[in-house]
Amino acid sequence: MRNLLVLLLLFCFLTCSLTPILSAQEDAKPAETNSKASGRVEAAGTVLDEIQGAPDKGIPEEVLGSAECVAVVPSLLNAGFVFGGRYGRGVASCRTPKGWSAPAFFTIGGGSFGLQIGGQASDVVMLIMNKGGMDNLLSSQFKLGGDASAAAGPVGRHAAADTDWKMRAEVLTYSRSRGLFAGLELSGAVIKQDKDSTREFYGRMVPFKTSLKGDIEAPKTAYPFLSTLAKWAQQASK
């Protein structure tokens, strides 16, 4: 009987001691995850800055200057060889009368076709070129090549005068892998709102339309991406 009482007291002591620790760990999780969302915003700005900073190998100024929205996926993972899947998390912003909108978080995934190297990660940039593409983005879920026409975008400091990139697709896609930057075919990929990252970054659920149409103020943690985007978009418009 005494041994049983001792065991019960020990159990109560351990329970009372561990509860605050576990609770503190749970409280720390959102902050840690929010740091991941903020890190993705910063990484998106770095990717765009490095791509546009490469001499004569970035997105043509005419193309970037005409884009309605810009989406960046730092490290899109290609899984598989020859035929595989893609998955990544990214950040998007659209033009508004006040400037570039607060960031919207999304996931991209789906089938892919063409030769791949298993496990290879690529940085991806998508430019939404017209109102039709923007409407698809605002819907918070659409399929490239299905709901929205998509094509590999032209590369270089300036787009050739005879190219039909303005008429060709609602979304122009680019990829940088192992230092090489080129247009990328992403047909079949599905883009959805990343609700978890949205809640982590803003502290609540913010619909795609609310952020991308400029109905919410961008927090300071969004500046690494938005300031870089504004810098290159402004330069492209000159």
The more confidently predicted of residues 157 and 169 is 169
pLDDT one-digit tens code per residue, 44-76 = 999 999 888 877 778 888 889 889 999 999 977
Q: What is the mean pLDDT of residues 113-132?
A: 69
Answer whether residue 181 is part of any domain. Answer: yes
CA distance 38 to 122: 20
CA distance 152 to 186: 8
96 has a pLDDT exceeding 90: yes
Do 100 and 226 touch, CB atoms closer than 8 A? yes
CA distance 44 to 229: 10
Answer whether residue 38 is part of any domain. Answer: no
Average pLDDT taken over every residue of the chain: 75
* Most confident stretch, 145-159, 171-185, 211-225: 211-225
pLDDT at 1: 52
The β-bridge partners of 122 are: 76
pLDDT at 231: 93
Answer whether residue 159 is part of any domain. Answer: yes
CA distance 76 to 88: 5
pLDDT above 90 covers what percent of the chain? 34
Do 79 and 110 touch, CB atoms closer than 8 A? no
89 has a pLDDT exceeding 80: yes
pLDDT one-digit tens code per residue, 8-50 = 444 454 444 434 433 433 333 333 445 789 999 999 999 999 8
pLDDT confidence bin for 158, thresholds 50/70/90: low
Closest CA to 122 of 189, 68, 62, 67: 189
The more confidently predicted of residues 212 and 160 is 212
Answer whether residue 93 is part of any domain. Answer: yes
Answer whether residue 150 is part of any domain. Answer: yes
Answer whether residue 43 is part of any domain. Answer: no
One-letter amino acid at 138 equals: L
Instruction: Please give the residue range of the domain that contains residue 113.
Output: 51-237
pLDDT at 69: 93
pLDDT one-digit tens code per residue, 179-195 = 676 666 676 788 899 99
pLDDT at 19: 41
Place of tokens 């094509």: 151
DSSP state of 222: G
C-beta neighbour count of 18 within 10 angstroms: 10
Answer whether residue 2 is part of any domain. Answer: no
pLDDT one-digit tens code per residue, 98-114 = 999 999 999 988 755 44
Domain count, the chain: 1
Answer whether residue 92 is part of any domain. Answer: yes
